[in-house]
Chains A and B, each alone.
Chain A
Amino acid sequence: MLATLIRLLGGFEAAEEALHEAFAAAVEQWPRDGVPANPFAWLVSTGRFKLIDRWRRQARFTQALPALAALADAAPEPTMTEHIEDDELRLIFTCCHPLIAPDARIALTLREVGGLTTEEIARAYRVPAPTIAQRIVRAKAKIRDDALSYEVPERAELPARIESVLQVIYLIFNEGYAVTAGPRLIRDDLCAEAIRLGRLVVDLLDDPEAQGLLALMLLHEARRSSRVDEAGDLILLENQNRSLWDQARIVEAQGLIERALASHRVGPYLLQAAIASLHALAPNVVDTDWPQIVSLYDTLLRVDPSPVVALNRAVAIAMRDGPEMGLRSIEAVIEQGGLDDYHLAYSARAEMERRLGHVEAAAASYKRALELVRQPAERRFLQTRLAQVAIASAPHSGTKVEIA
Chain B
Amino acid sequence: MRYACLIYFDPQKVFNRTPEGEAVLRDTERFDAELRASGHFVAGHALQLPNAAMTVRVRNGKMSATDGPFMETREMLAGLIVVEARDLNDAIRIAAGIPYATIGSIEVRPLVDYSQPRPIL
**Which A residues contact B (CB, under 8 angstroms)?**
13, 16-17, 20-21, 24, 54, 58, 60, 111, 117-120, 129-130, 132-133, 136-137
Closest to A117 in B: B87
29 examples of A-B residue contacts, CB within 8 angstroms: A16-B90, A17-B38, A17-B93, A20-B38, A20-B39, A20-B86, A21-B38, A24-B38, A24-B39, A54-B34, A58-B30, A60-B27, A111-B87, A117-B1, A117-B86, A117-B87, A117-B88, A118-B87, A119-B1, A119-B88, A129-B88, A129-B110, A132-B88, A133-B88, A133-B89, A133-B92, A136-B89, A137-B89, A137-B92
Closest to A121 in B: B87
Known contacts being A24-B39, A60-B27, is A130 close to B89, with CB within 8 Å? no
Q: Which residues of A contact B1 (CB under 8 A)?
A: 117, 119
Q: Which residues of B contact A130 (CB under 8 A)?
A: 88
Q: Scan residues 69-113 of chain B and give those whose CB is less than 8 A from a CB of chain A.
A: 86-90, 92-93, 110
Q: Which residues of B contact A117 (CB under 8 A)?
A: 1, 86-88
The interface centre, meaning the residue of B34, B92, B110 with most chain A CB atoms within 10 A of its CB, is B92
Known contacts being A21-B38, A24-B38, A54-B34, is A111 close to B27, with CB within 8 Å? no
Closest beta carbon of chain B to A5's beta carbon, Å = 14
From DSSP, what is the main secondary structure of chain A's interface residues? helix
Q: Which residues of A contact B40 (CB under 8 A)?
A: 20
Asked if A118 contacts B88 (CB within 8 A), the reply is yes
Q: Which residues of B contact A132 (CB under 8 A)?
A: 88
Known contacts being A20-B39, A54-B34, A60-B27, is A13 close to B93, with CB within 8 Å? yes
Asked if B39 contacts A16 (CB within 8 A), the reply is no
Q: Assign chain B's interface to a size class.
A: 10 to 19
- 8 extra interface residue pairs, beta carbon distance < 8 Å, beyond A111-B87, A137-B89: A16-B93, A20-B39, A24-B38, A58-B30, A118-B90, A119-B87, A129-B88, A129-B110
The interface centre, meaning the residue of A60, A118, A119 with most chain B CB atoms within 10 A of its CB, is A118
Q: Which residues of A contact B93 (CB under 8 A)?
A: 13, 16-17
Interface readout for B31-45 with A: 1 if CB under 8 Å, 0 if not? 000100011100000
Q: Which residues of A contact B87 (CB under 8 A)?
A: 111, 117-120
Q: Which residues of A contact B86 (CB under 8 A)?
A: 16, 20, 117
Expressed in whole angstroms, the Cα–Cα distance for A54 and B90 within the complex equals: 18
Closest beta carbon of chain A to B90's beta carbon, Å = 7
Closest to A130 in B: B88
Q: Which residues of B contact A120 (CB under 8 A)?
A: 87
Closest to A133 in B: B88
Closest beta carbon of chain B to A394's beta carbon, Å = 41
Expressed in whole angstroms, the Cα–Cα distance for A400 and B86 within the complex equals: 62
Closest beta carbon of chain B to A113's beta carbon, Å = 14
Interface readout for B20-60 with A: 1 if CB under 8 Å, 0 if not? 00000001001000100011100000000000000000000
Closest beta carbon of chain B to A351's beta carbon, Å = 38
The interface centre, meaning the residue of B30, B40, B86, B89 with most chain A CB atoms within 10 A of its CB, is B89
Closest to A50 in B: B38
Q: Which residues of B contact A137 (CB under 8 A)?
A: 89, 92
Expressed in whole angstroms, the Cα–Cα distance for A117 and B89 within the complex equals: 8
Closest beta carbon of chain B to A2's beta carbon, Å = 11
The interface centre, meaning the residue of A117, A130, A132 with most chain B CB atoms within 10 A of its CB, is A117
Q: Which residues of B contact A60 (CB under 8 A)?
A: 27
Closest to A19 in B: B86
Closest beta carbon of chain A to B69's beta carbon, Å = 27
Closest to A24 in B: B39
Expressed in whole angstroms, the Cα–Cα distance for A132 and B89 within the complex equals: 9
Q: Which residues of B contact A16 (CB under 8 A)?
A: 86, 90, 93
Q: Which residues of B contact A13 (CB under 8 A)?
A: 93
Expressed in whole angstroms, the Cα–Cα distance for A304 and B92 within the complex equals: 41
